[in-house]
Amino acid sequence: MYRVDLNCDLGESFGNYTLGMDEKVIPLITSANIACGFHASDPDVMAKTIKLAKKSGIQVGAHPGFPDLMGFGRRNMSVTPEEAKHYVLYQIGALDAFCRMNGIRLQHVKPHGALYNMAAKDYELAKGICEAIASYDRNLIVLALSGGELARAAKDMGLRVALEVFADRAYEEDGSLVNRRKEGAVITDEDIAIERVIRMVKEQKVTAITGKDIEIKADSICVHGDGEKALDFVKKIRESFERENIEICSLSEL
């Protein structure tokens, strides 16, 4: 029996601005990455999101990002590992306060956007992030790009790690994601995408953009809830998993 987690970013609204279809995607996923007020969200949104997650019973994780609301945390910033450590620690603590108010536990931490991408490639930065997580709670699961530096740093520090794969993204031979600006970076054919993700889960393999098969481990699949099309795709993934006897469960149940 194969098991895998479905994770999705949640709680990315801010003030008067609404983003994402949180209520609709929650029934479809097992783990939610919740924005913490740096790249998105604010204390009111966090209160509402954690309440919603509690009600639904899905597991929640902190989704810390760069202090760049204008760029939605998607722009690389040359922060030091020490700064990254403090930014992540601050955001975990802030989000966890809302978990405490609602009597639930944080399950994991997944860095957001540019911080996620940079940490997948920069071991020192990744170590800073892991130090924040370890110093807050060694039981937190680090949700990291399969094969990336964050996963490696977390393992080196003895932290629990869950490896994430992307259904709709092409991979380089070294296991890194193909840069979005390159041709073929995004898998647009949903059937192919689903086929690929099933193979990643069952065979721990994926065909890189070069055509070569590479090893890849998949504990969790990143899905999106920012539109009807995205929601339909998650439903399709769930249906195909049922056919393939892949059980969907949260990171903590893996």
**Cα separation of 174 and 190, whole Å?**
24
Nearest approach, Cβ of residue 210 and its own copies (Å): 26
Of the CA atoms within 13 Å of residue 42, those in its CB half-sphere come to: 9
* 75: contact with its own copies by CB under 8 A: yes
The one among 54, 68, 104, 157 contacting its own copies by CB under 8 A: 68
Options 131-139, 156-164, 179-187, 216-224: segment touching its own copies (CB under 8 A): 131-139
The least CB distance from residue 179 to its own copies, in Å, is 12
Both tokens assigned to 244: 């393939």
Two tokens, residue 32:
């939610």
Q: In the block, which residue shows the tokens 């056919």?
A: 243
Query: What are 210's two structure tokens?
Result: 């070069």
The verdict on 37 binding its own copies (CB under 8 A) reads: yes
In the numeric block, which tokens belong to residue 156? Answer: 């080196």
Least distance CB 70 / its own copies (angstroms): 5
Phi, psi dihedral angles at 177 (to 5 degrees)? -75, 140
Question: At its nearest, how many Å lie between its own copies and the CB of residue 16?
Answer: 4
Q: From CA 234, how far away is CA 237, in angstroms rounded?
A: 5
Q: Does 72 bind its own copies (CB under 8 A)?
A: yes
Which of 21, 94, 104, 254 forms a contact with its own copies (CB under 8 A)? 94
Q: How far is the CB of 96 from its own copies (least distance, A)?
A: 6
Answer yes or no whether residue 135 interacts with its own copies by CB under 8 A. yes
Q: Least Å distance between CB 94 and its own copies?
A: 4
- Residues touching its own copies, count (CB under 8 A): 47
Q: Give the contact letters, 142-161, x = binds to its own copies (CB under 8 A), - = no.
A: --------------------
Binding mask 46-65 for its own copies (x = CB under 8 A): xx------------------
Across 155-164, b (16+ Cβ under 10 Å) vs e yields eebebbbbbb
Contact by Cβ (8 Å): 153, 172: no
> Are 34 and 50 in contact, with CB atoms under 8 Å apart?
yes
Among 23, 44, 203, 242, binds its own copies (CB under 8 A): 44
CB of 106 to its own copies, least distance (A): 11
Strand partners, 8: 32, 223
Q: Does 33 bind its own copies (CB under 8 A)?
A: no
DSSP string, 173-217: TTSPBPPTTSTT-B---HHHHHHHHHHHHHHSEEE-TTS-EEE--
Residue among 203, 207, 229 nearest 218 (CA)? 203
Q: Which residues bind its own copies (CB under 8 A)?
A: 14-19, 37, 40, 42-44, 46-47, 67-72, 74-79, 82-83, 85-87, 89-98, 100-101, 114, 132, 135-137
